Structure 1
Amino acid sequence: MALISIADAESLAARALERAGASTAAAQATARALVYAEAQGTVSHGLSRVAQYAGHMGAGRVDGKATAVVRREQGATVIVDAADGLAFPACILAIDHAMTKARELGVAVAAVTNSYHFGAAIYHLEAIAAAGMVGLAFSNSPAAINAWGGKRPLFGTNPIAAMFPRRGGEPLAIDLALSEVARGKLMVAAKEGKAIPTGWALDEDGQPTTDPARGLKGSMAPAGGVKGAMLALTVELLVTALTGAHFGFEADSFFEVPGNRPKLGQLFLVIDPAAMGGGEVFAERIETLVAAMLADDGVRLPGARRYALARKAASEGLNVADATLAQMRALAGD
């Protein structure tokens, strides 16, 4: 492991992405998001993605110089076309418009189409919480979860995130994917020749398996069984049927360099508490629940661990895997 400051990590990642074909603005926006995830301990969505994004730009799967544009606005809604570019600039544009609308109308829905991997879902909600509003984020991803009772992967792991601001405290930050475990855990187990627990994955015949190789050829088990599968379906429809984006089964795997342009969808909901019960009511209800949760020994507020790790990284620097750092330096031409 190697120690690197937040600023140096962002600069290195941005240089690597720009050299791989991203515009300066897209590279910087993407680097900030990946370093955010790395600092919060979500390394699967952190700096290891720099090489993946660079490879996909080189293969033509994503256009690093694309400019996201607002395709349509109506009332409290807006849809942004990422134009097959990196997701972060498009998501920033969508959320900026949604926050403006929510301040005026009380609520807003912003969607992104023709998009790409959008990193840690919770990242996109920080600006919303900082403005004192509630945010929810949804995205689909390449197929990994089968429809309940089926064999073929159709839905992505389809993350859901929610953030609730607090007065005088860090937001409640909820972020989860809808598979029982991350696909990366199967990849590690397969590489090490180890079995996986029953309930993590299904084989090509739709049957539970402890063989990670068969699980990788089959599908990921949804979190919570049929309930998780229904949530994955809900997210899939929210981010595609409303936007024209690709379904998960229409997007090639992110774990391979060759493939199609994924054209994924994202959707963000922004709610201004002042337009509902009022800011004071919102703050009181949040803090009453937080106090009740913390009165029970062993309870940890959602997001508390992430924010603690981020504070530590800000003061001490990031511990980054040597291979990841070397890869980024090579891509940056250092």
Structure 2
Amino acid sequence: MARLTLAEVRDIAERVLLKHGFSDLQAKAVAETMVCGERDECRSHGIYRLLVCIATLSAGKVNPTAVPVVYSQAPGIVRVDADGGFSQLAFQSGLEALKQKAASNGIAALVINNCIHFSALWVEIEALTDMGLVALACNPSHAWVAPAGGRGPVFGTNPIAFGWPRKDKDPFVFDFATSAVARGEIELHRRAGKPIPLGWGVSPEGEPTTSAQHALDGAMLTFGGHKGSALAAMIELIAGPLIGDLTSAESLAHDDGAGASPYHGELIIAFDPKRFLGDQVDYHFERAERLFADIEGQGARLPSARRYEARARSLLNGVEVSDDLYADIQALI
């Protein structure tokens, strides 16, 4: 294992992206997401994704010099055309307008169109909780996931994320795919030659499998059977047709066998507690803290607690990257 500081992770990520023609703004925005993944020990969303980014570029499926354009769609909606670039810079471009609209209306939506997406949503959620906003985000991906009772891909991994700011504490955040696991986790198992647990996917013949390759060639499964399947369908609708962007099946068709990252839209909704609650905001947020105390008081752990523990370790000790992955990334430089 290679041990790197977070500054070294950032430098490597930016160097790779710049070397392959990404603009400075695109490279910095994308690299920062990878730093966050490594920092919180979410390695399937760390610098491993550099391989995915360059493969997507090589396939001609991302605009490396994209300049997002921000539109005020409505009093409560800001729309950003990502110009075929990665989602990170588009999100950053619309963030201030989203904050202002949420402060004015109490609730506002950020719609990102025409973006390439590969990252975890909690990075964007934490940007909003840092502003004191409650936030919700979701997006489709490629059609890799079978619906409950089916055996062929229809849905994407279709993540959904939520964040609640907390005074002087890490925010309450969850971010999970509606598939049984993120696709990157199956890919990491494939790279390591490790079997996957039953329930993650089915073979091309629709049979349960522990082979990562068979699951990648066949279909992934939703979590929770019909419940995860219904959530996946909801995300297809509200982050697809509702915002005028692609479903997961349409994203995969656009890919046309290139094996690139998904091309679609993203929906982020922000709630301003001050606008909802006025001078009662502190009182009601204290009530929320009692809920968290009741959860943790039973020995249960809040979502993202493991990430925050990992973050503290990484900030102190740096992160570890496998020698094989490090060699693959160095080869890109």
| Fold shared, TM-score > 0.5 on shorter chain | yes
Tell me the SS of whatever aligns to 2:70.
Answer: strand
The aligned amino acid for 1:250 is E
**Percent of aligned pairs with the same amino acid:** 34
Is 1:285 the counterpart of 2:287? The answer is yes
Tell me the SS of whatever aligns to 2:136.
Answer: strand
Residues 1-334 of structure 1 aligned to structure 2 (within 5 Å):
1-187=1-187, 196-210=196-210, 212-252=212-252, 258-259=258-259, 262-277=262-277, 278-297=280-299, 299-332=300-333
Q: Which moved more, 1:197-206 or 1:168-177?
A: 197-206
State the Cα deviation string for residues 203-222 of structure 1 (Å, max 9, x = none).
44545445554433321111
d(CA) in 2 for partners of 1:122, 1:227:
22
Tell me the SS of whatever aligns to 1:242.
Answer: helix
d(CA) in 1 for partners of 2:321, 2:255:
21
Tell me the SS of whatever aligns to 1:276.
Answer: helix
Deviation of 1:58 after TM superposition, in Å, equals 2.4
Deviation of 1:52 after TM superposition, in Å, equals 1.4
Deviation of 1:17 after TM superposition, in Å, equals 0.5
d(CA) in 1 for partners of 2:248, 2:235:
11
For the aligned residue pairs, the C-alpha RMSD in angstroms reads 2.5
Deviation of 1:185 after TM superposition, in Å, equals 4.8
Preserved CA contact (<8 Å) 2:104 2:275: no
The aligned amino acid for 1:149 is G
Deviation of 1:324 after TM superposition, in Å, equals 2.6
d(CA) in 2 for partners of 1:183, 1:259:
13
Deviation of 1:3 after TM superposition, in Å, equals 1.4
Deviation of 1:48 after TM superposition, in Å, equals 0.4
The aligned amino acid for 1:286 is A
d(CA) in 2 for partners of 1:256, 1:167:
47
The aligned amino acid for 1:281 is Y
The aligned amino acid for 1:283 is F
d(CA) in 2 for partners of 1:212, 1:107:
41
Q: Which moved more, 1:275-284 or 1:221-230?
A: 275-284
d(CA) in 1 for partners of 2:254, 2:192:
21
Tell me the SS of whatever aligns to 2:243.
Answer: coil
Deviation of 1:253 after TM superposition, in Å, equals 9.4
Preserved CA contact (<8 Å) 2:53 2:261: no
Deviation of 1:302 after TM superposition, in Å, equals 1.4
The aligned amino acid for 2:315 is A
State the Cα deviation string for residues 186-207 of structure 1 (Å, max 9, x = none).
4566677776544322344545
Preserved CA contact (<8 Å) 2:61 2:255: no
Query: TM-score, normalized by length of structure 1?
Result: 0.91
Preserved CA contact (<8 Å) 1:71 1:79: yes
State the Cα deviation string for residues 51-94 of structure 1 (Å, max 9, x = none).
21022112211011011112452110121111111110011123
Distance 1:280 1:189, change over 3 A: closer
Distance 1:68 1:192, change over 3 A: closer
d(CA) in 1 for partners of 2:72, 2:201:
40
The aligned amino acid for 1:304 is A
Tell me the SS of whatever aligns to 1:70.
Answer: strand
Distance 1:22 1:187, change over 3 A: closer
Tell me the SS of whatever aligns to 1:153.
Answer: coil
Tell me the SS of whatever aligns to 1:302.
Answer: coil
Q: Which moved more, 1:215-224 or 1:12-21?
A: 215-224
Preserved CA contact (<8 Å) 1:60 1:261: no
Moved over 6 A (4+): 191-194, 253-257
State the Cα deviation string for residues 132-152 of structure 1 (Å, max 9, x = none).
111111111111112333332
The aligned amino acid for 1:284 is E
d(CA) in 2 for partners of 1:274, 1:96:
17
Provide structure 1 residue ranges, at least 5 long, that are not aligned to the other structure.
none
d(CA) in 1 for partners of 2:248, 2:224:
20
Tell me the SS of whatever aligns to 2:242.
Answer: coil
Distance 1:115 1:168, change over 3 A: same
d(CA) in 1 for partners of 2:136, 2:313:
26
Tell me the SS of whatever aligns to 1:251.
Answer: helix
Distance 1:257 1:44, change over 3 A: farther
Deviation of 1:312 after TM superposition, in Å, equals 1.5
Deviation of 1:323 after TM superposition, in Å, equals 2.6
